[in-house]
Structure 1
Amino acid sequence: MTVAVTNEDAEPTSGCQKPAAIGARRKIGFAFSSSDEAPGFLASRSFSTSSGNLVPITDDVDDAFLSHEVLNDEDDEKPRMDPLRVKQLMETWRKAARRARTTYVDPWDEFNIHEYPEQRAKRYRYSAIRKQWTEDIVEVRIHPDSFARGAMRECYRLKKCSAHGSSRDWTSNYVAKKYICQVDRRVLFDDVRLQMDAKLWAEEFNRYNPPKKIDIVQMCVIELIDVKGSPLYHLEHFIEGKYIKYNSNSGFVSNAARLTPQAFSHFTFERSGHQMMVVDIQVSRYAD
């Protein structure tokens, strides 16, 4: 699952505001499915916070906090699916993928983005696990007119070329977000680092097999290297749908009857030893 338009862009306003301080809490969007009917996983574990240090989320919680019993082989054995059943399921998914490709209608087809020139962009991606940045060159087409504006950034429709051997695919839709007011370039990179850290927390949340799993949208920075001034944008996959805010960094909690957003925020607070919390969560109705 993926995330949609996130951060401050959901509530259009005007004017220039100072960007959030480095390391401050920011809103993160994520997607999950169906309704939240069973929050039982919230009580499945209790954590000690006697150590003042942030717990590495790649650690095993059992080793870090819990005294646990060693399971015998019978208890630890996982059920295995019949190979024939696996083959049948794989074929079912292949057929579904073929049908999806033949019936796909590009929601941005009317904007004729293919008519705009190709541009080279340097893409900067961050790995929250390795704590490293990687760079590569990609080709993009960007619509010159913004289609949405938030308190701090405005959004542009963008298509990125995906090369598969000798073929070139321009079907993937992205949202390029540009700061309205001039900011230091490190602000964009800090935004990406914060969001990708939140994505890692979502993966840790899913390790406990909650009723509804979540995912944080992938975000990177692109720099249009052939354009005067080499402007920088945040880049995210486009996901259709209207977005609902479920909580904020100022204490707001939505009355909407969804449990997963609040459970995730609470989980990050407890799992980090009360050192941090992922808040300002927005969810796409389409992905919901």
Structure 2
Amino acid sequence: MVTGREEVPEGVDPAKASVARIYDAMLGGEHNFAIDREALAAFTAIDPQVRALARANRAFLGRAVRHLVDAGVRQFIDLGSGIPTQGNVHEVAQSIAPGTRVIYVDNDPVAVAHSASLLADNPDADIVNADIRRPADVLNAPQVRKLIDFNEPVAILMITIMHFITHEEDPAGLVAAYRDGLPAGSWLALSHATDQDRPGTAAAVGKLYRSKATSPVTARSYEGISELFTGFDLVPPGLVYVPLWRPDPADDVPENPSEYWVYAGVGRKAG
């Protein structure tokens, strides 16, 4: 287990918080360092319910995976998968449909190391150490080619990762590159920070990540996030605040869902 009290692994900048490790800290994980917890404390000062937001996003991931498995998907590529925690994609999917194949993709050294350890005895899941900004490298990685059959539908998961792609990096073009590498009938599940109703919060968080973390945050409008689904048909309820996407019967739906300033949606590739 890696904690803030242990030696920083090779490839980690101890002066910068990591997106993956901050999220791990939000979810109450232990694979993070003091610099990550300091960033989380600053984040919490901006938005006191950030941990609740992280849990809501994680719950969306579980619901989306269950929906996709029920729709017949047996192959997943989780981009920017982060540090393993409870309710991983392979755990959810394989508990419903054993043999479902899952590829995780990340370039954070801590995330890659812990994923490799977790998946060592699972023949149907693997981790790719790659930058999601290079789709060809991801889709042609040996682990991907071994586990993923591109003649069958594939679900691409982009869970709170695309807001770390700047405007200059062409987020819509990046999603399109993955989309074009998938067969018809494939899927995209995505959640993304928005400045639609809470621009002040989004701007403050963006400034925080620019100063303290390895990746900046670019929150986008409803229209800007919708554009990422070009070529995919959104399933009901469409693009909505994250706790509103097909909540389970036991879930508490917030009175003011815009306080959870992340949009979420699932779409199927047309054709």
Pick the structure with more strand per residue: 1
TM-score, normalised on structure 2?
A: 0.29
Larger Rg: 1
TM-score, normalised on structure 1?
A: 0.28
Pick the structure with more helix per residue: 2
